[in-house]
Amino acid sequence: MPHTRYAPDRGLTTRMVTTMFFIGLLYVVFIGVLLALFKGAWLLIVIIAGGLFVAQFWFSDRIAAFSMGAREVTPQQAPELHGAVDRLCALADMPKPRVAIADTDVPNAFATGRNQRNALVCATTGLLRRLEPEELEGVLAHELSHVAHRDVVVMTIASFLGVLAGIMTRAALWGGLSRSSRNNNVGIAVLLIPLISAVVYAISFLLTRLLSRYRELSADRAGALLTGRPSALAAALTKVTGQMARIPTRDLRKVEPFNAFFFAPALSGESVSRLFSSHPTLERRLDQLARISTQLGQAGRG
């Protein structure tokens, strides 16, 4: 990881490596099963899997921006947003990412990109309208931490592999069924492959959720330590979470697929099990920020 002034997090690094190892192992087995059952379609499987993976890795920032309706903005178009990003990048000693705005009333932000030099940080118009300058800097420091620690890359790859399982299954079935006259196992495979694909997706989903919750706590901690103002980030968290309840449900559902990448979840509640949540609870995040504030206060007096 290129050096920045963001506090390193060995726990996050360990979890990222572990997540990618198990997801990689899972997909090696998955592809092996597909190849064994559909020997005639192996070339199609490899081409689709490899092509989609490379496309997702190299164009993840553009794909995310397009999906969210985000547009890149110049310093002249968004001077306050660019100014905040400039200050934080100078403070963190990291390259400035591209800056974008998504035109939606849902108050949120996200970062994406395969590395620091190809990163993009995006804030919504709803977020910019509701937050004070210090609160906005707290949110942006949180998002830039994802870029500095490269966990956004891991989440992008891990999340995409779950979708890839379904695409590869359909490709294998299509290729295999076209050769059904020479393969007596196609009937069994038609029943077996969707089940295997569902299991692969479920395991990938759980692994990414476990990583996602920890990385949000890590970004809160790193962002608060960088700015030295954990209270501003706590205020932003409280405000965004409270305002989210006032957004129409249909608007929240439109952006729900991006929950794992957002600063705060678009949809949450007691009805959603913590096991499946993309973010830690608000109480846990505020408790961590309160402890950091106490530690910084004690260090200042010392």
**CA dihedral defined by 215, 107, 267, 7, rounded to 10 degrees?**
10
Residues 289-300: pLDDT tens digits? 999 999 988 776
pLDDT of residue 137: 97
The answer to whether 162 and 22 have CB atoms below 8 angstroms apart is: no
Q: Residues marked as binding?
A: 142, 146, 216
Closest CA to 127 of 70, 89, 76: 70
Average pLDDT of the chain to the nearest whole number: 81
Q: Mean pLDDT throughout 56-69?
A: 72
Q: Residues marked as binding for Zn(2+)?
A: 142, 146, 216
CA-only gyration radius of the chain, Å: 21
Overall pTM surpassing 0.85 (yes/no): no
pLDDT band at 217 (very low <50, low <70, confident <90, very high): very high
Residue 134: active-site member: no
Question: Long-range contacts: 279-285, Cβ < 8 Å, 24+?
Answer: 279/212, 279/213, 279/216, 280/213, 280/216, 280/217, 282/237, 282/238, 282/241, 284/217, 285/216, 285/217, 285/220, 285/234, 285/237
- pLDDT above 70 covers what percent of the chain? 75
pLDDT band at 154 (very low <50, low <70, confident <90, very high): confident
pLDDT band at 109 (very low <50, low <70, confident <90, very high): very high
The catalytic residue among 143, 256, 270, 283 is: 143
- Lowest-pLDDT choice from 97-111, 126-140, 237-251, 260-274: 260-274
269 Ramachandran zone, left/alpha/beta (phi>0; psi -120 to 50)? left
What are 57's two structure tokens? 């890795």
